[in-house]
Homo-oligomer: A and B are copies of this chain.
């Protein structure tokens, strides 16, 4: 029981004079999704969502999480001793505000320096400056309580061929060095795993759904070093790396390497993506430039090879998805199908695709009210049975050498209520409003976010999540630095950036709707006011006409739906049987 874990944690805190212990969701690389070894926050709270922050004092235990997980967290926290605080929700302070209001002066704040970033700690110290708190960061207290903790992952490292990456490691490193020179830096220190995988054109299997390799990296003016458990790298891969100018050293050797950097060196790193333990190892005399990882932007801006591969990946992926929906439609009335069965069946279709590696995240197959939980996950033991009525939400994606996919469709399993149709149509209007936007060079996703919400807001609806996120190339399904969100973000969208567009409506105890497509930012016209960009859609799966209330759509919106669905048929039908095509023809009929 979580209660016992909490009690033991508090005992350790008391022994050490710690007033508050903060356990975020993190690993030494500030990964969004972490290996089981690093799921200390899950262990402590019982809440298994991908994002959350546990804060424990002697009197209180609070978990902060975001809108995707409010319903799930409420359920999972029952009896845990943890209270749910809703992020970005009026009436709930942020964890920093809460600390500011509840801590005494000179309180001792405990964190595990191995998993929190330097930026994380500095931000706390800055926000709580007037309280002059002390940081205790030398021990993993949750780890001390956690007896049956899983070990570190041991996934093998593979090389990503240039026909997939589109650019050699040597070339990428060359460009990074140019950036280093322009920033006046001698050493680039890199801790985030997707950046390392991108830079060195390697992939691994250390984190489920995220084909990364647990490692650190350093680029100097004349060296590039990958710090990784040598057991994971075979000779061929080592040889390949060497040819590209990359040496390998053991994972833990990063600390010795960094501590022996000479005083005169200028180091560029992103404080929010380097753990505090490693950061503290840097000799004090070194100058540090805190700058967004130099790999971050070139990784986000996909090259031509990557974009063309992604188109291929989406076609294959959407064929699998369509086959699944065809199967579902033909069996829903005759067989007992659970949400869990549905996810497995879909996986089966994906597994038939050449080059499919694994899902890019846990499939969300959610029927009826379950779909109101944005990141719901049906299990073997806990799931709903699909019935031939109401809405079914399916959010899934795959990892391929040709890229990473992510797509959501909400479809009718039978008759719908007027409210279900109304809500679906509002979400569709938001989706169309954003995805068909032309926008000026320099515009951020934050500035565009409202376009997807506008039709919903006018009717008193909203969704408590971002509107879209970047997607990696055969890497993490969530990738920055750009995103489309109400949360401030000033990164301009640039041609080559891939982004999801996924507005929704989530009504507890009723239904959940999300329509998600993925697009790459592309050039549009240049006029006297400047260069315009547009969204070039990559994902092609039918938007269910049964869900739409056409009277709520303008002619322009109807044209958009009809054109999109026509394209779906044209792109996918070559890969489907006659029966499947007849069915798809109907699903892509004009509204």
Tell me whether B451 and A437 are in contact (CB under 8 A).
no
Interfacial chain B residues near A447, Cβ < 8 Å: 446-447, 449-450, 486
The verdict on A443 contacting chain B, using a C-beta distance below 8 Å, is yes
Kindly supply a per-residue 1/0 record for chain A positions 476-505, scoring 1 wherever the CB is within 8 Å of any chain B CB and 0 otherwise.
Answer: 000000000010101000000000000000
Segment among A154-162, A257-265, A377-385, A526-534 that sits at the interface with chain B? A526-534
Tell me whether B439 and A457 are in contact (CB under 8 A).
yes
Tell me whether B527 and A460 are in contact (CB under 8 A).
yes
Residue in B289, B449, B460, B486 whose CB lies within 8 Å of A529: B460
Tell me whether B443 and A486 are in contact (CB under 8 A).
yes
The verdict on A462 contacting chain B, using a C-beta distance below 8 Å, is yes
The verdict on A458 contacting chain B, using a C-beta distance below 8 Å, is yes
The verdict on A251 contacting chain B, using a C-beta distance below 8 Å, is no
Tell me whether B486 and A457 are in contact (CB under 8 A).
no
A409-456 CB contacts (< 8 Å) to partner B: 437-443, 446-451, 453-454
The verdict on A551 contacting chain B, using a C-beta distance below 8 Å, is no
Q: How far is the CA of A79 from the CA of B216 in the complex (A)?
A: 57
Interfacial chain B residues near A443, Cβ < 8 Å: 450, 486
Interfacial chain B residues near A454, Cβ < 8 Å: 437, 451
Q: How far is the CA of A349 from the CA of B184 in the complex (A)?
A: 62
Q: How far is the CA of A462 from the CA of B446 in the complex (A)?
A: 18
The verdict on A151 contacting chain B, using a C-beta distance below 8 Å, is no
When C-beta atoms are compared, the residue in chain B nearest to A436 turns out to be B458
The verdict on A574 contacting chain B, using a C-beta distance below 8 Å, is no
Tell me whether A440 and B462 are in contact (CB under 8 A).
yes
Interfacial chain B residues near A460, Cβ < 8 Å: 438, 525, 527, 529, 532
Interfacial chain B residues near A437, Cβ < 8 Å: 454, 457-458
A436 → chain B closest CB, angstroms: 8
When C-beta atoms are compared, the residue in chain B nearest to A450 turns out to be B447
Q: How far is the CA of A358 from the CA of B437 in the complex (A)?
A: 43
Q: How far is the CA of A458 from the CA of B454 in the complex (A)?
A: 16
Residue in B130, B442, B449 whose CB lies within 8 Å of A184: B130
Q: How far is the CA of A158 from the CA of B128 in the complex (A)?
A: 42
Residue in B90, B184, B439, B450 whose CB lies within 8 Å of A451: B450
The verdict on A554 contacting chain B, using a C-beta distance below 8 Å, is yes
Kindly supply a per-residue 1/0 record for chain A positions 516-547, scoring 1 wherever the CB is within 8 Å of any chain B CB and 0 otherwise.
Answer: 00000000010111111000000000000000
The verdict on A341 contacting chain B, using a C-beta distance below 8 Å, is no
A468 → chain B closest CB, angstroms: 14
When C-beta atoms are compared, the residue in chain B nearest to A555 turns out to be B554
The verdict on A172 contacting chain B, using a C-beta distance below 8 Å, is no
Q: How far is the CA of A530 from the CA of B70 in the complex (A)?
A: 15
Q: How far is the CA of A442 from the CA of B531 in the complex (A)?
A: 31
The verdict on A464 contacting chain B, using a C-beta distance below 8 Å, is yes
The verdict on A461 contacting chain B, using a C-beta distance below 8 Å, is yes
When C-beta atoms are compared, the residue in chain B nearest to A439 turns out to be B457
Interfacial chain B residues near A507, Cβ < 8 Å: 528
Interfacial chain B residues near A464, Cβ < 8 Å: 529
Q: How far is the CA of A457 from the CA of B462 in the complex (A)?
A: 25
Most chain B beta-carbon contacts within 10 A, residue among A442, A447, A453, A530: A447
Q: How far is the CA of A130 from the CA of B437 in the complex (A)?
A: 40
Residue in B441, B486, B488, B529 whose CB lies within 8 Å of A461: B529
Q: How far is the CA of A248 from the CA of B262 in the complex (A)?
A: 58
Interfacial chain B residues near A532, Cβ < 8 Å: 457, 460
Q: How far is the CA of A88 from the CA of B443 in the complex (A)?
A: 11
When C-beta atoms are compared, the residue in chain B nearest to A457 turns out to be B438
Tell me whether A531 and B90 are in contact (CB under 8 A).
yes
A256 → chain B closest CB, angstroms: 28
22 contacts between A and B (CB under 8 A): A88-B442, A90-B441, A90-B530, A130-B184, A130-B289, A437-B454, A437-B458, A438-B457, A438-B458, A438-B460, A440-B457, A440-B462, A442-B486, A446-B447, A447-B449, A447-B450, A457-B532, A460-B525, A460-B529, A461-B529, A462-B530, A488-B490
Nearest 3 A/B pairs, CB to CB? A460-B527, A462-B529, A438-B457
Beyond A90-B530, A446-B446: 10 further Cβ-contacts under 8 Å? A130-B289, A437-B458, A442-B486, A450-B451, A451-B454, A460-B527, A460-B529, A460-B532, A462-B530, A464-B529
